[in-house]
Copies of this chain bind each other. A is one copy, B any other.
Amino acid sequence: MRKLKMGMVGGGAGSLIGAVHRSAALMDGQIELVAGALSSTKEKAFASGQEIGLPEERIYATWQEMLEGELSLPEKERVDFISVVTPNNLHFPVAKAFVEAGFNVVVDKPMVHTSEQAQKLVEAVEEREIVFCVTYNYTGYPMVKQARYMVRRGDLGEVRKVIVEYSQGWLAGDVEENNKQARWRTDPEIAGIAGAMGDIGSHAENLVSTITGLEVSEICADLTTFVEGRRLDDDANLLIRYKGGARGVLIASQVAAGEENALSIKVYGTEGGLRWNQEEPNCLIFKPSGAPTQVLKRGNDYLCKAAKGVTRLPPGHPEAFIEAFANVYSGVAEAIRARREGRTLEGDAEFPTVYDGARGVRFIEKAVESGMSEKKWVGFS
């Protein structure tokens, strides 16, 4: 099997998420990293490229050079796709340029800064036969796929209520000065119009949508900045009304001191409830009314096809964050191969698309709008 060739924009020395994308892409032996414009300065870009073993001739100083350079290669040698893992403000220009040049693109979340940008990207993608993925990586967990399967099959009856909570504590203090990650994620020029709401609230929104398919009808948001001098929200609490009458609560905080990466979701339907917690990702808890609680565990034969299809190890040999991320990449790889071979993939795309990305951006905008409004409910459309 020929490995797919990957290029990376961003993700240089000191970037956490760049290394995660690389491990995720590489671990299954289907993808090789062959090109990169890894950093914002030429020196760093080269140092980072060498550090991770890129061939010298494909270490680019800028993403523009990379685009040009790759296009100048014979088609067979070009990267098969690029991953954009820069801070948020670069997602739009980079993704758009590569999409328009016909490359398949993977981009980190939130996809872009504004709905206008999102719309342009949607149109650019729709005009071309390319694969486009937004790395809402939590969708890659097998037990999230199982949750989606069970909710949509109706195991819970009709969904009435969703509680999603994403609590981190790393921004509880005034840490911006010594923490590059903190600095750009709280800088509106780079991060966009929202802080915690954008950075992790959008993961929460996506998780609800992925699992339940519920569509937001109205939201009521309370956004707060607790740390003095911080320019974006670091805490967000939302009431949500979904089309069809379901109710939701969405909590996203980066000042929940003591929490690490506590993303959890509870879904309640007429016939039972379901819980998943990212910090114990191999378990899915199903509580059918009037019967014993069930703990479904990754790797077992009793799981749905989608959950089993993204599992590398037998039950009890835990998989975790990087493997889930890798599942997003293997979905992308499979989609690229399928497109080339003229195959149609069964079922839904097994990774978040440009539409998920656009909806996520819209959700952030509406949450910010609601946060500043005296009106109780802000419509979502």
Binary CB contact string for chain A from 335 to 350 against chain B (1 if under 8 A, 0 otherwise) = 0000000000000000
The 9 closest A-B pairs by CB, nearest first: A260-B316, A258-B287, A261-B316, A258-B273, A320-B320, A318-B320, A260-B315, A292-B294, A293-B295
Q: Identify the closest chain B residue to A181 (Cβ).
A: B314
* A218 CB → nearest B CB, Å: 10
A262 at the interface (CB under 8 A from B): yes
**Minimum CB distance partner of A286 in chain B:** B292
Cα A288 to Cα B170 with chains together (Å): 12
Residue of B nearest to A287 (CB): B258
- Which of A19-27, A92-100, A105-113, A203-211 forms contacts with chain B? A19-27
Let me know if A52 is at the binding interface, CB within 8 A. Answer: yes
Complex Cα gap A266–B288 (Å): 25
Which of these binds chain B: A76-84, A122-130, A158-166, A357-365?
A158-166
Chain A residues in the interface with B (C-beta under 8 A): 1-3, 16, 19-20, 22-23, 26-29, 33, 50-53, 156-157, 160-161, 163, 165, 167-170, 172-173, 220, 222, 224, 226, 235, 237, 239, 241, 245, 247, 249, 251, 253, 255-262, 266, 268-274, 278-282, 286-297, 299-302, 312-323, 373-377
Partner of A161, one of B170, B235, B291: B235
A255: chain B residues at CB < 8 Å are 160-161, 268
Q: List residues of chain B with CB within 8 A of the CB of A260.
A: 297, 299, 314-317
Chain A at the B interface: SS class: loop
User: Which of B156, B173, B241, B319 has a CB less than 8 Å from the CB of A320?
Assistant: B319
A161 CA to B261 CA, complexed, in Å: 17
Compute how far the CA of A172 lies from the CA of B29 in the bound complex, rounded to whole angstroms.
34
Least CB distance from A159 to B in Å reads 10
Cβ contact within 8 Å between A258 and B2? no
CB neighbours (8 Å) of A241 from chain B are 222
Residues of chain B within 8 A of A300, CB atoms compared: 290, 292
A29 and B1 form a contact (CB under 8 A): no
Instruction: Tell me the complex Cα distance, A289–B316, Å.
Output: 13
Q: Does the CB pair B268–A253 fall under 8 Å?
A: yes
Residue of B nearest to A218 (CB): B222
Q: Is B251 in contact with A249, judged by CB distance below 8 angstroms? A: yes
Q: Are A53 and B375 in contact (CB under 8 A)?
A: no
Query: Which of A261, A291, A322 neighbours the largest number of chain B CB atoms within 10 Å of its CB?
Result: A322
CA distance A189 to B270 in the complex (A): 27
State the Cβ distance, A249 to closest chain B Cβ, in Å: 5
A211 to chain B, nearest CB (A): 16
* B291 close to A297 (CB less than 8 A): no
